[in-house]
Structure 1
Amino acid sequence: MSSSSEEYTVEEAKENIGVLRRVAEDVVDAIENAEGEEVLEYLIEEQALDRLHDGERGLGQVRRGVLESPLASDRLKRIVSLRGDETPEEILVPQGVQRNAKVALEAGKPVVLYGPTGTGKTTFAKQLARETSIGYSLNTATPSWTPSDIIGGISPDYTGESLSYRTKLGCVSEAVERARDFDVKYGVILDEITRADISKIFGPLYTAIENPHQTIFETDEETTIELDERVNIICTMNMSDRTVNELDNAITRRFAMIELDEYEEDKRRQLFKHWITTYVTSETDLDENEILRLFERDYEGINHGNEATSQGPIMRFGPMHYRDVAVFLGVGCREGGEYEYDQTDAVGQAFRTYIVPRLLNAAAFPQIERIAEHYRALNGEFEDYDLSPAAELAERELEQERRQMGSYE
């Protein structure tokens, strides 16, 4: 089929589906000359020709055609933008967190989602981007990040016979370009920003937020990049890395700071039960109710303390860590797995591998003592499981801390 100005109907698309499955250019032509959105719906929703020609994810010529089409609805644009995105659709974070984040973005404010490790900040950031934008990019900060990673900079080009330099867009500038190209709202997630020097990398971005019409970058083609109201900037940070009070005032003034901490009890149990039934009891002989009770007791003891001994919480610790425990148990205890015949021993090893190291990573000396006590108590309470590996790891860390403290005395 050659390109023409005649309108392309659903009947023609069905008649030519064999050719459309083989030739991507004909699909683009059909999109450009479609009689109505139902043609695009047939090509993309029913036949998934974007997946066939462009792959499971990424921006190919078919998806670009949909995004550029004046006939495509936001719903259809989201379908092609989010191909291959396995982010859970159900949002479990507290409703107040959801509402505040959405209102902040609607008001034109970049958002920082902060809280303890394991509270699902990255998952919610992706869910938020999906709900408020047509597409999004995810970028994880590193200690080596510079302002060029955010707004763009000069990078070497080795493709020619001699070394040359070209401008390269940063992640925010790329989002601006995407929003402009397709005239859509576009999200950019900057994940775990406390890994980088926030004051250093965000300097030019702060200026752009204060002066949205100021050029922040210019490409080799002399195209200027300014912060665009269609771009939603969403950041995440772990508060085990830094407290809010220690942050540069510049970010707290310019960003909406939204805490993601406690889940409602029923939502947390829903998560635990889903992971246990999906990964553990479908593959092993471990008891669903007892594993759920262990997850709950461990989480409560860490986050809320022990009422019987009047001890307060050890630290803030999110529920997402327990998914790793569930997956470990499912893989290790299934038929042919390493712990097929030692399933009760596997439980302690899973906690030793995934939970205790993450607690110790952020713990001060008094908290390390509490962690060791906590797992000794759990080991006594859950007679069917050997939780001593978890307790022993904490006790070794405690002894090491005591030796180091003694050497300074």
Structure 2
Amino acid sequence: MSSGKPRFKDYNRQEAEEYSGFILSGVAQATEFINKTDDPEAIRYLVEERNIDIDVPGSGTEIEKAILTSKTAPISVKQTVAQRNDDLGDIRVPETVRKNAETALAVGKPIVLYGPTGTGKTYFAKQLALKSCINYSISTATPSWTPADITGSIQPETEDGEIQYVRQAGCVSQGIQKANEYHDNWAVIIDEITRADISQVFGPLYTAIEDHDQAIFRDEEGNRLTLNDDVKLICTMNMSDRTVNELDNAITRRFAMVELSRYDDEQRAGLFDDWIGELGPDIDIDQDRLHDLFDSHHEGINSGTTTNGESGIMEFGPMHYVDVTRFLKSACEDGGPYEGEESVAVGQAFATYIAPRLLNSASLPQINQLATHYATLDDQFEAFDLTPAINLANREAEAEEREMGVGAYE
């Protein structure tokens, strides 16, 4: 002990507390202690009570890796380290949805979150991942996807004029590698799965879900990658793309199908209050009136209250409106591009964030209904100029009519 360096015997929490000054004074001793301890509370103490520095450029990554790859560190401690820069807020989906999704993941069942646009499927998928896993990776499906995007492929690469073949893991195989490396749960989020040909792309995955001994890929070292319960597979599906009845039975048999439907009035009002409240007192917008506009717009889209008594135009969730409030907060602040033009800013926000998302999946009759809806709202809410959204819908209707040849023979 003459050198001042302690001789660790048990590498436990007691020694972590007693010699924390030494342990935290350098990367080498910190990583040595973390790698050798068999006491999860020793690592918890260093991370949660002594706030071990894992953000030091270069050296900090060694400490982070030691904690994340430790077989001893509790998952909650690994989450603290891996997710320190993530902040997705509280889970706001209906309670039944949360319970069903969390239970499915807990019993090792992959899940599909489905519902209309704006119900927060991707956001909730990330929240689920951060709650149940160390961290997550996310990929968005495309029409060009093949099974290789899920499992992996062997790709040729040229180096010094010679062709070499390199194994490239797919999104699920990469998740398996992460789970194996960290010895704990890792989430793989596949967003908007119906953009791909599910029955063709998910084929190898179906086999792996039913048989955990079935390798879906081999890495560069030849190691077999098999799907296990440490990999939490979370998919999202927009109901405007396809209904559940139209899905391949193979996926509905193997995945828990969790629906995110429209939020009830109280839940939606709470979301609107939170987002509009972030505008603060310095933005010259009548917040109560803006809340009423959100409500009337949402109800008219979903229930037809401002669309001549019809049953609604389409299903549309509330999550899109947060983009409107963020736009207004930035655009109308002191020195912002719409300072003093708050009425105009509201209409521009709807034309930028809301109307295009509705028009993107609308049929010609629905486009015409949207134009009428915005015109009605513009009359009802004189404090806000919704002309940009009206014009956008009208132009879209004209373009659709030209595409269909409507009026060509009149």
* TM-score normalized by the length of structure 2: 0.89
Q: In the alignment, what sits opposite 1:118?
A: 118
2:338 counterpart residue number: 339
Residues 40-82 of structure 1: CA distance to partner in whole angstroms, max 9, x if unpaired?
Answer: 23432332422335699xxx43223223435422211211232
**Conserved? CA contact 2:6–2:19, under 8 Å:** no
Cα gap change, 1:26 to 1:156, in 2 (>3 Å): farther
> Is residue 250 of structure 2 the alignment partner of residue 247 of structure 1?
no
Residues 190 and 235, structure 1, Cα contact 8 Å, conserved in 2:
yes
- Which letter maps to 2:106? E
Q: How well do the aligned residues superpose, as a CA RMSD in angstroms? A: 2.5
CA distance, structure 1, for counterparts of residue 409 and residue 219 of structure 2: 56
What is the Cα deviation at residue 187 of structure 1?
A: 1.4
- The 5 A counterparts of 1:9-408 are 9-15=16-22, 17=24, 19-20=25-26, 24-34=27-37, 36-45=39-48, 46-53=50-57, 60-88=61-89, 90-158=90-158, 162-278=162-278, 280-306=279-305, 309-403=308-402, 404-407=405-408
Unpaired runs of 5+ residues, structure 2, are none
Please tell me the residue identity of whatever aligns with 1:172.
V
Distance 1:326 1:159, change over 3 A: farther
SS in 2 for 1:118: coil
Aligned length: 400
Taking structure 1 as the reference length, the TM-score comes to 0.90
Q: Deviations over 1:127-179 (max 9, x none)?
A: 11222223322222233322122111112345666331121222212222232
Instruction: For 1:159 and 1:83, locate their aligned partners in 2 and report how far apart those are by CA, in whole Å.
Output: 39
Percent identity, aligned pairs only, is 46
- The CA distance in 1 between the partners of 2:209 and 2:81, in whole Å, is 30
Cα deviation, residue 311, structure 1: 1.5
CA contact (8 A) 1:281 1:288 kept: no
Q: Tell me the distance in 1 between the aligned counterparts of 2:367 and 2:285.
A: 29
Which whole-Å CA distance do the structure 2 matches of 1:153 and 1:3 have between them?
50
Flag structure 1 segments of 5+ consecutive residues without an equivalent: none
User: Is the 2:23–2:33 Cα contact (8 Å) retained in structure 1?
Assistant: no
- Distance of aligned partners of 1:399 and 1:174 in 2 relative to their CA distance in 1, 3 Å threshold: closer
Contact 2:300 2:306 in 1 (8 A): no
Contact 2:114 2:260 survives alignment (8 Å): yes
